[in-house]
Amino acid sequence: MRYHYIRLKIDSDMQVPYFIGAMIRGSLGYALKKVTCINPSYKCEGCFAKDGCLYYRLYELENVHHKYRLDVKLNSDKFDFGIYLYDDMCDGLVYFLSALHIALKDNGIGKERMKFESFEIFVDDILVYHNANFIPDIIYTPQSIKPQQIANNVKIKFKTPLRIKKSNEIEYDNIKIEHILRSIYQRKEQIFHNYTVHKLSYKPEYITSMKLLEYKKIYRKSFKQNKKLILDGVLGEMVVMGLDDLSLELLQIGTIIGVGKQTSFGFGAIEIEEIK
């Protein structure tokens, strides 16, 4: 299970919106299309090259688990953010780096077209862009997801809204550890093995679980649909005691690939804390 993690460190005193995921995703997509599109019409519909197009796979294909996700913080005082690339999407790393450079310096981000002159880009903690230039002769070798042995008592922190649906409704009051594990398992199998699964391959074991959750609404403007959309989800924490080792491995994978729906916007980010 290979992946890259791109991290942006931006030097700016601009006011940062509560949630930047939607504007980053939109700006990145616009720049990515500029970098990758070879169709003179610049349209995806009927395009002869869409099946192999990076932009089309990430922004036009629907009902798929996209092999990337944004990593953003809520209510941050900085524009810093990250992008995870998974599996064969790692092969498109240089296109993402070029698109990020265009989005930040030339096109601008958001409806205000905010541009940035001073920023750094890291790939897997290696500095690759500094002082307005990419650093040459860097070999980009993807990382591997390698879960570690951790304590069987853990706290799961939902850093951005978790969106797990049942009967087309967001799970809130009834969300359980099984729902989280199933979502991670489904994403892992689809992203890295191209398998569509609906159930966990085993039954999770634990002694007890406790949760402190809140319902959160986030609004975003969809230019494609020309209207405001609501992306709601769950924030907070869940404590699970005596969790089995296989589930602990899945949770660690979830910290890398995210959980639930709309992870490409930055939703479904979780963090695991051991309780010893």
How confident is the model over 166-193, as pLDDT tens digits? 777 777 778 899 999 999 999 999 999 9
Rounded-to-integer distance, Cα 64 and Cα 30, Å: 20
Domain ranges of the chain: 2-143, 146-274
Q: Does this chain's domain 2-143 share its CATH topology with 146-274? A: yes
How confident is the model over 189-225, as pLDDT tens digits? 999 998 888 899 999 999 988 889 898 888 776 666 6
- Would you state the pLDDT for residue 150? 93
Helices then strands (H, E): number in the chain? 5, 13
By percentage, how much of the chain surpasses pLDDT 90? 66
Q: Do residues 260 and 154 lie in contact, with contact meaning Cβ atoms separated by under 8 Å?
A: no
In this prediction, residue 96 has a pLDDT band, given cuts at 50, 70 and 90, of very high
Name the residue with higher pLDDT: 63 or 209.
Answer: 209
Candidates 237, 238, 252, 274; CA nearest to 153 is 274
SS3 27: helix
Q: Do residues 240 and 205 lie in contact, with contact meaning Cβ atoms separated by under 8 Å?
A: no
Rounded-to-integer distance, Cα 25 and Cα 83, Å: 10
Name the residue with higher pLDDT: 39 or 240.
Answer: 240
Average pLDDT score over residue span 134-152: 94
Average pLDDT score over residue span 53-71: 89
- Would you state the pLDDT for residue 222? 65
The token pair that represents 26 in the structure block: 């939109």
Distance of CA 52 to the CA centre of its chain: 22
CA distances 159 to 95, 155, 156, Å, are: 28, 12, 9
Q: Vertex 97, ends 272 and 104: CA angle to 5°? A: 95
* pTM (2 d.p.): 0.92
- Would you state the pLDDT for residue 255? 97
Amino acid identity at 116: F
The token pair that represents 144 in the structure block: 């591997």
Q: Do residues 185 and 252 lie in contact, with contact meaning Cβ atoms separated by under 8 Å?
A: no
In this prediction, residue 135 has a pLDDT band, given cuts at 50, 70 and 90, of very high
Rounded-to-integer distance, Cα 15 and Cα 183, Å: 34
- Would you state the pLDDT for residue 224? 64
Fold type of domain 146-274: Alpha-Beta Plaits (3.30.70)
Average pLDDT score over residue span 141-156: 95
- Bridging pattern class, strands 169-170 and 133-134: unpaired
The token pair that represents 151 in the structure block: 């304590």
- For 2-143, CATH number out of 1.10.286, 3.30.70, 1.10.3470, 1.20.58 equals 3.30.70
CA distances 57 to 43, 110, 191, Å, are: 14, 22, 13
- Would you state the pLDDT for residue 161? 94
pLDDT at residue 12 tops 70: yes
Average pLDDT score over residue span 110-114: 82
How confident is the model over 23-32, as pLDDT tens digits? 999 999 999 9
- Would you state the pLDDT for residue 173? 76
